[in-house]
Structure 1
Amino acid sequence: WTIDLDADGAPTATDVRRALVRSRAKLDYAGVQRQIDAGTAEEPLALLKDIGLLREQREVDRGGISLDVPEQEIIERPAPDGIRAPDGTRAPDRTQTHGGTYELVYRAPLPAEGWNAQISLLTGMAAAELMLTHGTGILRTLPTAPDGAVGRLRRTAHALRIDWPHHVSYARLIRSLDPHRPHHAAFLQECTTLLRGAGYTPFRDGAVPGITTHAAVAAPYTHCTAPLRRLVDRYASELSLAAAAGAAPPEWVLAALDELPARMAEGNRRAGQAERGCVDIVEAALLKDRVGELFDATVVDVQEREPTVGTVQLEVPAVVARIESGNGTALPLGERLRVRLTRADPGTAKVLFAPA
């Protein structure tokens, strides 16, 4: 992909062609961040921050949304030296296996990850424009959230004592929040409800679909930058190549176009189940000997129809789990809470808390 940008980071020309790419540097985000912060990064890596910041500003200007929510990550530690507490007992926030120990941590994305994501978004938007101009393609679409959903978020912001003036857009508010603050973290968690309903929309022969934009990107967009990891990107790459060359897409691409949305939906569902299942098992294993203990937590989600049920995020260990008040009392969204562990079963990967 070759995408020319003007001084404000807006694309002025796009080209895509087949090429052999060899990764000699073998970069990772932490190393890239260190190089850029130290001023030792060479071109083109040195430009990542400049372009990333320009593209982030353009995202704000067009009303795009990037949710910066810390994720749970499973960390593997070598066996077995690091698993004993000072009194000789097993350290409470790790679980031991034959090969070592596992623990959970909260991981906030590095700025370099956001800048890199902007390059991917830029490429996906360029690919979508190529497809729409050529008349055949597959888009990643997300309908605009209904007014009721945004209204509910405004009520949530008010309940969490987050100032949201009417003249401030949703996109600008999101960027002003700190996910490390409990009230902000709870609100960001609620914001994920506006991102539900994303899907893949194929079209052909100039029959442009009714929805061509992704509401969070605030522009036409498609997945195309990870063909080794995501199936749809293989087809998007071929469609983009054909569009750039003014040629017809390969027949094998056209034959699979209509079935891709269902295949991707099933793959995403299974991937999500696997990822969540891994975290659930580690959570249950970490906590299986601590049923009845008290923990400090924050209520990050409350079910709208059943406010006695929700989700808490523990400070230590890095656990996010279900909570049920059990006495009919609504859970206090965004508030710090002392909670008691009532269930931790590795066999079913279930963890449950109740207000202490």
Structure 2
Amino acid sequence: MAAAQVPQGGTGVAAADRPRGRVPRPRAGEFDFGTIRAELGLPVEFPTAALSEVERTVAQPVLDGVRADATGLPLVTVDPPGAKDLDQAVLVRRRARGYRVHYAIADVAAFVPPGGALDAEVRKRGQTLYLPDGNVPLHPTLLSEGAASLLPDQVRPAVLWTIDLDREGVPARVDVRRALVRSVARLDYDGVQRTLAQGTAHPSIELLPEVGRLRREQAVLRGAIELGLPEQQVESDGAGGWRLVLRPRLVVEEWNAEISLLTGMCAAEMMISAGVGVLRTVPDPEPETVAGLRRSAARLGVEWPEGKPPAAALAGLDPIRPEALAVHVAATRLLRGAGYTAFGDGAPAKSGHAGIGASYAHVTAPLRRLVDRYSAEVCLAVSSDREVPEWVREALAHLPSVMGGSDRVAGQVERACIAQAQAWALADRVGEEFPATVLRAANGVEGEVFVADPPVIARCVGDGFGEGQQVRVRLTAADADRRDVAFEVI
């Protein structure tokens, strides 16, 4: 399964005979994403030297220094179904005055020698890219889905975070060190959600709802601007074709994400206190931007009491409601200007992340994101009162541009895959009418609409329509070659 934006149907099958939202089985590769890979120049394979290096390091990883034996901790991984590149394993326990969170992160540095062939290649890639028909991995799968992945019943090198929380879910003590760990179970979101509802959750995460709710409450108090938008996905139908789905985020995903965010915030505080590191930053929205969003909410009939900050207002909205969905989409303008800030000689001038309401650093996904490996090394050095390794300091200055570039490519990939799939899905339905929700509108004549069946977001023109309205639209274009879909309000 690959997350993207809304993809769709195909040619050669009558609309009345085709399941809604499904791209039919491809003929001779007609419906693959190879054109997008070629257009964006995505890597096809790893250099021979990098693959040879991985084979050597997998056979003999670098495990020098003191490494705690934490194999007795019953850690578990919680990921999407079928995931193999398992970066994190978690264990939540109760303590006398709160909670203790153990969070093990794959220690990729044990397999990637600084300055080696693989190090050079991953610096070019920046992150794993996700396409519906297969990923472009940051690391060779021998490493990312094998030797470094926190697969169950395997002893693995890890960076182990231990975070004590008080009764309100606020960090009271943080420790990070290298360790050997062994996950006892590979869990997926759907299964965890089901067992939690049944009261049969795995003992290692039965406290996850308690801690997750407390952390969500803390997020609102911090002023975190979080958008509850469902995710558009293109996934395999199991028969050689594609299926379009709109997947709301499960509550267990939100709770699990809170553990990752908690770790990233603790990492950022360590870096800032030491005056060295790299942060993920998003500037606070300008007052006029917030005022504009408040006016949009008022036009849509969404109550937003005076003085209530955006975080609290958005947290109280159910994005399933059309008018609330439009507000959440409009709120994306509050989170513009994302970037990375590297520093090595004192606290940085920019350190906040408006989406989180605190300083934040990427440290929990090193198998899929380059910057996390370097951030982990900084935190390990700070925690043990050592100097940050020179190879890390040398790389810090370059990481913002590398990660910024890879973020742009990732965005291009996602948008292109969604646009392509939408055009495929609707190619033989031009002229049909659909119920839709207006997400954006400019001067009442052009904007963007959301069609639920199949789940599509596309441009639209009309006369006098406004955000949040329920309208009927007619499909006027679905060009697979141009990846273009367009509607008009009837």
Describe how 1:118-137 pairs up with structure 2 within 5 A: 118-137=258-277
Residue in 2 that maps onto 1:94: none
Give the corresponding residue for 2:215: 55
The answer (yes or no) to whether the contact 2:282–2:352 under 8 Å persists in 1 is: yes
Select which of 294, 307, 316 maps to 1:167. 307
Contact (CA 8 Å) 2:283, 2:352: kept in 1 or not? Answer: yes
Task: State, as a whole percentage, how many aligned pairs show the same letter.
Answer: 48
Report runs of 4+ in structure 1 exceeding 4 Å deviation: none
1:266 aligns with 2:408: no
1:300 corresponds, among 433, 439, 443, to 439
Task: Specify the alignment match of 2:488 in structure 1.
Answer: 354
Query: What is the CA distance between 1:53 and its match in structure 2?
Result: 0.6
Q: TM-score, length-normalised on structure 2?
A: 0.66
Distance 2:465 2:392 in 1: 50
> Equivalent residue for 2:63?
none
- Once the two structures are TM-superposed, the CA of residue 307 in structure 1 deviates from its matched residue by 4.8
Where 1:332 maps in the other structure, the secondary structure is coil
For 1:279-294, what aligned pairs fall within 5 Å after superposition?
279-294=418-433
Q: Kindly indicate whether residue 461 of structure 2 is the aligned counterpart of residue 321 of structure 1.
A: no
Q: Residue 116 of structure 1 corresponds to which residue in structure 2?
A: 256
Deviations 1:131-152 (A, max 9, x none): 1111111111111111110111
1:44 alignment partner in structure 2: 204
CA contact (8 A) 1:68 1:179 kept: yes
Return the offset for 1:298: 0.6
Structure 1 residues 295-318: Cα deviation after superposition (integer angstroms, max 9, x where no partner):
111111124xx6522111002111
Q: How many Å separate the matches in 1 of 2:257 and 2:444?
A: 36
Q: Distance in 2 between matches of 1:78 and 1:258?
A: 45
Are 2:478 and 1:344 aligned?
A: yes
2:448 is aligned with what amino acid?
T
Residue by residue over 1:231-268, the C-alpha shift from the partner in whole angstroms, topping out at 9 and shown as x without a partner, is: 11111111111111111111111111111111111101
Name the count of aligned residue pairs: 330
- Asked if residue 331 in structure 1 is aligned to residue 470 in structure 2, the reply is no
Answer yes or no: is the 8 Å Cα contact 2:277–2:344 preserved in 1.
yes
What is the letter of the counterpart of residue 262 of structure 1? S
2:190 aligns with 30
Aligned to 1:139: 279
Among 216, 222, 234, which residue is 1:74 paired with? Answer: 234
- Counterpart amino acid of residue 167 in structure 1: G
> C-alpha separation between the residues in 2 aligned to 1:355 and 1:152?
25
Cα distance, 1:272 vs structure 2: 1.2
3-state SS in 1 of match to 2:408: helix
- The amino acid of 2:226's aligned partner reads S
Runs of 5+ consecutive residues of structure 2 not aligned to the other structure:
1-160
1:103 and 1:282 in contact (8 A); partners too: no
| Aligned-partner SS, 1:17 | strand
Q: Residue 134 of structure 1 contacts residue 246 of structure 1 at CA under 8 Å; is this kept in 2?
A: no
For residues 109 and 7 of structure 1, what CA distance do their matches in structure 2 show?
26
Cα deviation, residue 35, structure 1: 1.3
What does the per-residue CA deviation read over 1:77-125, in whole Å, with 9 as the maximum and x for residues that have no partner?
133xxxxxxxxxxxxxxxxxxx2x2121111100100001110110001
Counterpart of 1:90 in structure 2 is: none
Q: CA deviation at 1:324?
A: 2.2
Conserved in 2, the CA contact under 8 Å of 1:145 and 1:194?
Answer: yes
Aligned to 2:455, the other structure's residue is in SS state coil
How far did residue 75 of structure 1 move? 2.5
| Alignment deviations for residues 268-323 of structure 1 (CA, whole Å, 9 cap, x no partner) | 111111112111111111100011111111111124xx652211100211111111
Alignment TM-score, normalising by the size of structure 1: 0.90
Q: Which has the higher contact order (CA 8 A, sep 6+)?
A: 2
CA distance in 1, matches of 2:190, 2:414: 23
Aligned equivalents of 2:165, 2:338: Cα separation in 1: 28
Counterparts of residues 215-226 of structure 1 (less than 5 Å): 215-226=354-365
* Partner amino acid, structure 1, of 2:359: P
Deviation at 1:20, TM superposition (A): 3.1
CA offsets, 1:6-63, max 9 Å, x none? 1111111111111234334111111111111111113221011111011111111121
Look up the SS of the partner of 1:297 in the other structure.
Answer: strand
In the alignment, what sits opposite 2:42?
none
Matched with 2:327 is 187
